Amino acid sequence: MNWLDVIAEVDLADGAAELFRTKFGGEPDGVWIAPGRVNLIGEHIDYAGGLVLPFALPYATAVAVRRREDSTMRAVSTHTDESWTGELGEIGPGTPSGWAAYVAGVSWALREHGVGGVDVAVHSSVPVGSGLSSSAALECSFALALSELFDLQVDRKVLIQASIRAENEIAGASTGGMDQNIAMSAQAGHALLLDCLDGSTRQIPLDLEASGTELLVIDTNAPHRLVDGQYGARRQALDTAYAELGVTTLRGLDVEQAVSGLVDDTLVRRVRHVVSEIGRVEQAAALLDRGAAGTELGELMTASHRSLRDDYEVSSPELDSAVDAALRAGAHGARMTGGGFGGSAIALVPSDLVQAVASEIGSSATRYDLPVPTFLTAEPSGSAHRFF
Ligand code: GLA
């Protein structure tokens, strides 16, 4: 079974600084680190003004950055040979393309705050394309670096918005704001209840051990892509539903009310997912408030998966295989996490069954001729910060 090692922050920071010295010469001004995430529950509803419940992973991205006196930007990464050098003035939708859009886009989004040129070297332990928010980890570590190096005097809310704009407008992925919010606001040992309608947050203690459970993160190794049409199509379907219902949000409606005004079956199912998922997050938060991260939470997670699979249609054979196998082997519950269409699943597992569940998930992948999954450690971790 493949388990992905957690890389200590000091080693992540060293990796970024080492690349910096090799590619640019001299020392970076500092290294900043931001985490990837999983979402416990509340999927595909951040852009619908819903409630989400993510927490930060101990896998993270480090950026070594040095301020320049001109308006040139140079970006390199240990992950790929693809680097980018350009002028701040040339950054715009689609330019640069590829991974550099996530850093250049942040500089672009913060341009009116007085950001200048930088050299940046990236080193990360967040798997890329796995639905664990590698892009937000990159945006947020870099946004914090810019904020400190150029003394922007803005709070994290501004940096969160800049990171979201980088992703939406420069990288062209029309994602909601869950990932950037958790990367910037996570607290170790807690999940974050984020209300995407008014932006309010509440930290909820997440002590899985006390409930005798562990959260298994399963990277199916089936790459997911959010820059293609499916994610945007889900958002568009909801816009159509709002127009037909004459509302600006589905919050506060029950499922009956919400679907009664709709005719098209696809719209009915999309809306049913959103409204029922908001209800499940409320119930999950209430369970966590009572310190009950066991069977009932598991049932909500499994119901969330079914809704995402059948009504919202964002699952995939790899995710379904992992979820079904986890349940067969005794997990309290399991679901896809993140954007879907591949990527990662999570399973809430009684502590003594972790190996058995992981093994059944692996066997199921082999049986269906799917990629061999990788398992990750899910220790609720802290937010973006300066390492040195
Ligand atoms: C991706 C997006 C998030 C969110 C999830 C689905 O991770 O970046 O904004 O929409 O998908 O819940």
Give the pLDDT confidence of 30-51 residue by residue, as tens digits.
999 999 999 999 999 999 999 9
Closest CA to 362 of 315, 316, 329: 329
**Ligand 1, atom nearest to 39 Cα:** 12
Q: Is the CB of 96 under 6 A from ligand 1?
A: no
CB 8 within 8 A of CB 123: no
CA dist 23 → 27, 98, 224 (Å): 11, 19, 30
Q: Give the whole-angstrom CA distance, residue 214 versus residue 233.
A: 34
Q: Give the whole-angstrom CA distance, residue 238 versus residue 297.
A: 27
pLDDT of residue 7: 97
> Do the bridges between strand 54-67 and strand 118-124 make them parallel or antiparallel, or are there none, so unpaired?
antiparallel
Q: Give the whole-angstrom CA distance, residue 139 versus residue 144.
A: 9
* d(CA 14, ligand 1 centre) in Å: 30
Q: Find the radius of gyration of the CA atoms of the chain.
A: 20
Q: Is the CB of 320 under 6 A from ligand 1?
A: no
Token readout for 214 is 């562990």
* d(CA 199, ligand 1 centre) in Å: 16
Residues above pLDDT 90, as percent of the chain: 97
pLDDT of residue 377: 84
* Cis? peptide before 93, omega within 30° of 0: no
Q: Given a cut of 90, is residue 104 above it in pLDDT? A: yes
Q: Is the CB of 338 under 6 A from ligand 1?
A: yes
Give the chain's domains with CATH numbers: 2-202 (3.30.230.10), 206-376 (3.30.70.890)
Whole-number average pLDDT of the chain: 96
Q: Is the CB of 119 under 6 A from ligand 1?
A: no
Residues above pLDDT 70, as percent of the chain: 99
Q: How large is the average pLDDT for residues 88-114? A: 97
Torsion of CA 360, 345, 218, 144, to 10 degrees: -170
CB 322 within 8 A of CB 344: no
DSSP state of 213: E
**Ligand 1, atom nearest to 135 Cα:** 8
Q: Give the whole-angstrom CA distance, residue 265 versus residue 263.
A: 6
Q: Is the CB of 298 under 6 A from ligand 1?
A: no
Tell me which amino acid residue 11 is. D
CB 204 within 8 A of CB 289: yes
Collapsed DSSP state (helix, strand, coil) of residue 374: strand
pLDDT of residue 190: 98
Q: How large is the average pLDDT for residues 253-282? A: 96
**Ligand 1, atom nearest to 45 Cα:** 12
pLDDT digits (tens, 9 = 90+) for 313-359: 999 999 999 999 999 999 999 999 999 999 999 999 999 999 999 99
pLDDT digits (tens, 9 = 90+) for 195-246: 999 999 999 999 999 999 999 999 999 977 654 689 999 999 999 999 999 9
Torsion of CA 361, 5, 27, 96, to 10 degrees: 0
Close Cβ partners of 219 (under 8 Å, ≥ 6 residues apart)? 4, 127, 130, 132, 343, 344, 373, 374, 375, 376
pLDDT of residue 228: 67
Q: Give the whole-angstrom CA distance, residue 238 versus residue 230.
A: 13
Q: Is the CB of 46 under 6 A from ligand 1?
A: yes
Instruction: Tell the residue nearest (CA) to atom 8 of ligand 1.
Output: 175
pLDDT digits (tens, 9 = 90+) for 154-197: 999 999 999 999 999 999 999 999 999 999 999 999 999 999 99
pLDDT of residue 226: 59
179 is catalytic: yes
pLDDT digits (tens, 9 = 90+) for 358-386: 999 999 999 999 999 999 989 999 999 99
Residue 75 C-alpha from the chain's centroid: 22
Give the ranges where the chain is alpha helix by DSSP (H): 9-24, 101-109, 134-149, 156-165, 178-185, 229-245, 255-260, 265-289, 295-306, 317-328, 354-367
Collapsed DSSP state (helix, strand, coil) of residue 121: strand
Q: Give the whole-angstrom CA distance, residue 2 versus residue 5.
A: 9
Q: Give the whole-angstrom CA distance, residue 29 versus residue 26.
A: 10
Mutate to test the pocket of ligand 1, among 140, 178, 234, 344 (most ligand atoms within 8 A of CB): 178
Q: Give the whole-angstrom CA distance, residue 108 versus residue 88.
A: 7
